[in-house]
């Protein structure tokens, strides 16, 4: 396996080439569904669903944009769904970043009665997903009179319900880990300069945590953009649905003879793809960070 051959003027191990081929095949299996849906969304229905499957989109001059145009028409509330998703995800992200940064800092840097029990309680409850509590959560939303509004989704999600497996305290945990890594001397120096704890937090700590806050925001935004369950249970009005739930309502009436839903899937995935391409380093780093420390 350690034999070498010459390729592009470089000596390369045969095992390296074999490995690359295996990984390319795996990579194709991973991205095949995305290739297919993109190609299918640009073809007439009969062509898109005919076999053998067409993995690559047609030539640019032959793109069939009929289904994308349909999404813009009034008959399908696709952009209403997209706007709802954008609105809900933004509110959830802002809310979680705000309280997560505050509480994460306090749990990392302050000593106060009740700290241990409060934090422990949240960490334990972090394991309980929203699927367990949904019946009671629904009742609470009824008491707060917010069912069928986006608040029924955003309020619980701000406190972690939409982050899979990390209900309750996801943002707090992540920010606490970060602030724990900042040396205590930093706070002491600020205190000697006469800065109070709140001023130290705003003027020194938040700027230092900028990239961590950005990572948290990206993760929370992506998860809430994709969240299905909470919206599905809480909202029962088509015009208030988010994209993941709403897209299924597009699917039903057009199930036969129409692949407008594939165009909808493409447009729903593109924002995530853009966020990933731009923030990929941050995402991967912070996911790993949470994983390792978790």
Residues 134-193 that bind another protein (CB under 8 A): 134-140, 155-156, 158-161, 164-165, 167-169, 172, 191
Q: Which stretch binds another protein (CB under 8 A): 56-64, 73-81, 205-213, 274-282?
A: 274-282
Q: Which stretch binds another protein (CB under 8 A): 62-70, 75-83, 208-216, 241-249?
A: 241-249
CA distance 95 to 116: 24
Least distance to another protein, CB of residue 61, Å: 26
CB closer to another protein out of 115 and 145: 115
CB closer to another protein out of 44 and 276: 276
3-state SS class at 5: strand
Does 225 bind another protein (CB under 8 A)? Our answer is yes
Judged by CB under 8 A, the residue of 44, 180, 214, 251 near another protein is 251
Residue list 44-103, contact with another protein (CB under 8 A):
49, 51-53, 98-100, 102-103
- DSSP code for 194: T
Least distance to another protein, CB of residue 69, Å: 20
- Residue window 4-43: x/- pattern of binding to another protein, with contact defined by CB under 8 A: ------------x--xx-xx--xx-xxx-xx-xx--x---
CA distance 116 to 157: 24
Does 110 bind another protein (CB under 8 A)? Our answer is yes
98, 257, 288 from 103: Cα distances, Å: 9, 52, 22
Judged by CB under 8 A, the residue of 14, 128, 208, 278 near another protein is 128
189, 246, 251, 263 from 73: Cα distances, Å: 60, 16, 16, 13
CA distance 232 to 244: 9
Least distance to another protein, CB of residue 275, Å: 8
CA distance 124 to 133: 14
Residue among 192, 193, 216, 190 at smallest CA distance from 201: 190
Phi and psi angles of residue 76, each rounded to the nearest 5 degrees, phi first: -120, 125
Helices and strands, counts by H and E, the chain = 15, 2
Q: Which stretch binds another protein (CB under 8 A): 65-73, 86-94, 206-214, 271-279?
A: 271-279
Q: Which stretch binds another protein (CB under 8 A): 56-64, 74-82, 203-211, 262-270?
A: 262-270
Does 197 bind another protein (CB under 8 A)? Our answer is yes
CA distance 220 to 227: 10
């Amino acid at each position: 396996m350690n034999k070498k051959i010459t390729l592009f003027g470089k000596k390369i191990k045969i095992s390296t080439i074999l490995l690359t081929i295996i990984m390319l095949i795996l990579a194709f299996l991973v991205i095949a569904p995305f290739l297919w849906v993109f190609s299918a969304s640009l073809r007439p229905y009969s062509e898109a669903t005919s076999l053998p499957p067409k993995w690559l989109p047609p030539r640019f001059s032959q793109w069939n944009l009929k289904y994308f145009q349909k999404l813009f028409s009034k008959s399908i509330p696709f952009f209403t769904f997209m706007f709802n998703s954008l609105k809900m995800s933004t509110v959830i992200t802002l809310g979680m970043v705000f309280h997560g940064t505050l509480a994460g800092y306090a749990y990392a840097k302050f000593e106060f009665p009740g700290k241990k029990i409060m934090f422990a309680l949240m960490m334990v409850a972090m394991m309980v997903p929203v699927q367990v509590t949904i019946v009671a959560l629904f009742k609470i939303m009824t008491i707060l009179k917010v069912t069928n509004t986006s608040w029924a989704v955003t309020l619980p999600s701000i406190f972690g319900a939409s982050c899979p497996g990390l209900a309750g305290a996801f943002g707090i945990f992540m920010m606490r880990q970060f602030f724990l890594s900042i040396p205590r001397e930093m706070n002491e120096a600020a205190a000697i300069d006469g800065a109070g704890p709140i001023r130290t937090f705003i003027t020194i700590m938040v700027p230092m945590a900028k990239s961590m806050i950005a990572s948290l925001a990206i993760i929370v935004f992506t998860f809430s953009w994709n969240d299905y369950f909470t919206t599905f249970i809480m909202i029962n009005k088509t015009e208030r649905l988010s994209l993941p739930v709403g897209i299924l309502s597009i699917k039903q009436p057009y199930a036969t003879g129409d692949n407008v839903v594939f165009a909808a899937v493409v447009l729903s995935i593109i924002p995530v793809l853009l966020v990933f391409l731009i923030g990929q380093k941050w995402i991967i780093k912070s996911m790993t960070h949470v994983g390792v420390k978790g």
